[in-house]
């Protein structure tokens, strides 16, 4: 197609790409700059593009006193915990839904999908009250557990699409040799779909990492995650934009790196495996 | 599909002998856990929706009030106003994001050199947590020196004195713009994948027929990516319908009630005003609406699936 395109049309296409990158990446760069900007230039009009970078905001938020450092750690605990807890539930389910043509299979899949589209906010107040009444409020476990309403349905969908790609013949040969279902699932299929499980887990990690609703009502001062911790900078005595930017950029980086690393699976991850990119 | 070493007949027999309960054994742990995590809060909310319960007045419900909480929600357009804002945000947002996303997808589908890099970078807004997008746009919208008011005034577009988020005529659109910024790339990337999956010979035949570009898009490309398009529209429509963290950061439903979405209204009633009864009643009203929409979408998107 390349050669048949006329030059002006090509120039126009590239110009559009530049505009798109400015619009969609520009604001992110602008926010990253805010993290290293001298406070005086944060709101100067016209905008100041060049300045002497300052590391004060980074030092304050992550080193001394470093209020956001434990929150970064909390975010990692909650997101990683949510992924690890989800695997023993979602992998067998994904395997069964891929391999067995049981009645109601479609309805179960659609039920999981429905959960992914349910409003998290509808559950927040009950979770908050119920968690306090059983003494779980403020614990990592409460957040990790509630996150399962997202990670399990997501992982079942995405993992199933990977298991579907493993040829079933190998399993049938093993079955003829007398292997049990558990053995087939764990010794044959699991190793074969390991890449798919890693991809699923990484997207599920992003999913839980970016979830703000559950920590908003379940976390306490000590267990709060990075985005919710950042919300506290909008408090009483003026908004400290430098600190917000540093903490927010720190919260942005892991999902961005994961998406760049998983580039060829991004479409599949974003559509829960229903569109193969 | 059959391997030469495994004859068809014994394979069938193996299948028939597999016990029926095995798949259910594998599926049920996840279903039971999820049911527990959903049923408890929903039943708890259902019960609370018939009680007067304000956490500021006591740690337990203060009395059965029948449907009073539902009536209160429906009075004075409290719920319906929020529903209207939500519908506006959802319908306009999904339509704008789909249209812009499709245009970007068509541009990317020309596959000029270097566009792969642009595509990989373009998805970045979508990777960010919505609440963090909220922080970003609070900075960009700041009436005292934010980039967006500055850009608009320098091209001669007037800005309300209270700022874009502070004026009830612009606030909802400002929230919408932040969402469009974050999710247009999502449509672009997924629809691009859809466009790439269109077989070359179809496009080649259309080119030989000299099909005009718009007819090509409307009669050939769009019908061929219909399924992909329906899935992304469905996912995004529901996420937008549930919008609440963006509102928490950007406007808290204000000014007045101009950006109060359904999701934020429940949150505010429960976590800010501590009126658990009212919040629970609205939770159930929202759950019913959401279920109806999901049902419709799923019916159309997955009718002939599997």
DSSP output for A195-233: HHHHHHHHHHHHHHHT--HHHHHH--TTT--HHHHHHGG
Touching A: B residues 256-295, CB under 8 Å: 262-264, 266-267, 270-271, 276, 279-280, 283, 286-287, 290-291, 294
Give the whole-angstrom CA distance, residue A258 versus residue A272.
16
CATH code at position B294: 1.10.3720.10
For B209, the token pair is 């027929």
Name the residue range of residue B18's domain: 8-48
Give the whole-angstrom CA distance, residue B237 versus residue A92.
30
In a domain, B238, yes or no: yes
Q: Name A235's Cβ contacts closer than 8 Å, sequence gap at least 6.
A: none
Domains in chain A (CATH in brackets) are: 69-234+253-270 (1.10.3720.10)
Task: Give contacts of B291 with chain A, Cβ < 8 Å.
Answer: 114
In a domain, B53, yes or no: no
- Indicate the length of chain A as a whole number: 277
Q: Is B229 within 8 Å of chain A by CB? A: no
**Residue B84 region, left (φ>0) first, then alpha (ψ -120 to 50), else beta?**
alpha
Confidence of residue B19 (pLDDT cuts 50, 70, 90): low
Closest approach of B17 to chain A, Cα-based (Å): 11
Does B140 lie in the same domain as B105? Answer: yes
In a domain, B60, yes or no: no
Beta carbons of A275 and B142 less than 8 Å apart: no
Residues A19-55: pLDDT tens digits?
999 999 999 999 999 999 888 888 887 888 888 888 9
In a domain, B174, yes or no: yes
Residues B29-43: pLDDT tens digits?
999 999 999 999 999
| Cross-strand bridge partners of residue B51 | B64
Does B136 lie in the same domain as B246? Answer: yes
Does B31 lie in the same domain as B99? Answer: no
pTM score: 0.91
Give the whole-angstrom CA distance, residue B135 versus residue A228.
11
Task: Please report the ipTM that was assigned to this predicted complex.
Answer: 0.92
Does B100 lie in the same domain as B15? Answer: no
Rg (CA), chain B: 25
CB atoms within 10 A of CB A194: 11
Give the whole-angstrom CA distance, residue B259 versus residue B251.
7
Does B77 lie in the same domain as B222? Answer: yes
Touching B: A residues 210-249, CB under 8 Å: 210-213, 216-217, 227-228, 230-231, 234, 241, 244-245, 248
Touching A: B residues 7-66, CB under 8 Å: 10-11, 14, 18, 20, 22-24, 26-27, 29-31, 33-34, 37-38, 40-42, 44-45, 48
Does B44 lie in the same domain as B72? Answer: no
Q: Which residues of chain A carry a pLDDT beneath 50?
A: 1-2
* Average pLDDT of span B58-87: 87
CB atoms within 10 A of CB B191: 27
The half-sphere exposure of B31 on its side-chain side, counting CA atoms within 13 A, is 17
Residue B254: strand, helix, or coil: coil
Q: In chain B, how many domains are there?
A: 2
């Amino acid at each position: 197609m390349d050669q048949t395109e006329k030059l002006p049309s090509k120039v126009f296409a590239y110009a559009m790409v530049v505009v798109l990158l400015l619009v969609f990446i520009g604001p992110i760069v602008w926010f990253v700059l805010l993290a290293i900007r001298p406070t005086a230039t944060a709101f100067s009009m016209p905008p100041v593009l060049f300045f002497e970078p300052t590391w004060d905001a980074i030092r304050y938020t992550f080193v001394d006193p470093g209020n956001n450092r434990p929150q970064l750690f909390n975010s990692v605990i909650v997101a990683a915990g949510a992924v690890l807890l989800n695997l023993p539930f979602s992998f067998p389910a994904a395997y069964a839904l891929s391999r067995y043509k049981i009645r109601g299979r479609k309805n179960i899949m659609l039920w999981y999908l429905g959960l992914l589209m349910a409003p998290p906010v509808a559950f927040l107040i009950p979770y908050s009250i119920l968690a306090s009444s059983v003494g779980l409020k403020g614990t990592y476990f409460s957040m990790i557990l509630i996150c399962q309403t997202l990670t399990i349905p997501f992982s079942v969908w995405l993992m199933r699409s990977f298991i579907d790609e493993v040829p079933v013949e190998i399993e049938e040969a093993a079955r003829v040799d007398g292997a049990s279902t558990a053995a087939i699932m764990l010794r044959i299929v699991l190793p074969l779909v390991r890449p798919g499980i890693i991809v699923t887990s990484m997207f599920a990690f992003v999913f839980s990492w970016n979830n703000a609703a559950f920590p908003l009502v379940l976390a306490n001062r000590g267990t709060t995650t990075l985005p919710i911790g950042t919300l506290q900078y909008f408090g009483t005595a003026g908004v400290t934009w430098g600190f917000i930017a540093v903490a927010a950029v720190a919260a942005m980086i892991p999902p961005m790196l994961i998406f760049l690393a998983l580039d060829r699976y991004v479409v599949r991850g974003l559509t829960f495996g229903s569109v193969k990119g | 599909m059959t391997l030469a070493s495994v004859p068809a007949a014994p394979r069938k027999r193996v299948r028939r002998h597999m016990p029926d309960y095995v798949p259910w054994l594998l599926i049920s742990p996840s279903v039971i856990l999820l049911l527990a995590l959903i049923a408890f809060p929903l039943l708890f909310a259902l019960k609370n929706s018939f009680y007067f319960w304000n956490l500021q007045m006591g740690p337990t419900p203060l009395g059965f009030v029948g449907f009073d909480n539902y009536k209160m929600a429906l009075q004075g357009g409290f719920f319906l106003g929020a529903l209207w804002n939500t519908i506006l945000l959802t319908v306009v947002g999904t339509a704008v994001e789909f249209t812009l996303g499709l245009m970007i997808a068509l541009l990317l589908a020309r596959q000029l050199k270097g566009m792969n890099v642009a595509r990989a970078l373009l998805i970045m807004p979508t990777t960010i947590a919505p609440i963090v997008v909220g922080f970003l746009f609070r900075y960009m919208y700041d009436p005292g020196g934010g980039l967006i008011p500055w850009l608009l005034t320098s091209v001669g577009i007037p800005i309300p004195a209270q700022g874009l988020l502070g004026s009830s005529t612009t606030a909802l659109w400002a929230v919408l713009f932040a969402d469009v910024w974050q999710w247009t790339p999502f449509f672009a990337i997924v629809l691009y994948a859809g466009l790439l999956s269109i077989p070359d010979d179809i496009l080649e035949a259309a080119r030989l027929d000299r099909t005009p570009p718009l007819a090509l898009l409307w009669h050939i490309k769009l019908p061929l990516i219909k399924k992909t398009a329906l899935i992304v529209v469905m996912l995004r429509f529901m996420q937008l319908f549930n919008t609440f963290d963006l509102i928490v950061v950007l406007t808290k439903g204000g000014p007045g009630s101009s950006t109060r979405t359904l999701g934020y209204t429940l949150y505010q009633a429960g976590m800010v005003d501590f009126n658990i009864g009212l919040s629970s009643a609205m939770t159930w009203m929202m759950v019913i609406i959401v279920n109806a929409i999901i049902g419709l979408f799923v019916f159309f998107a997955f009718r002939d699936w599997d």
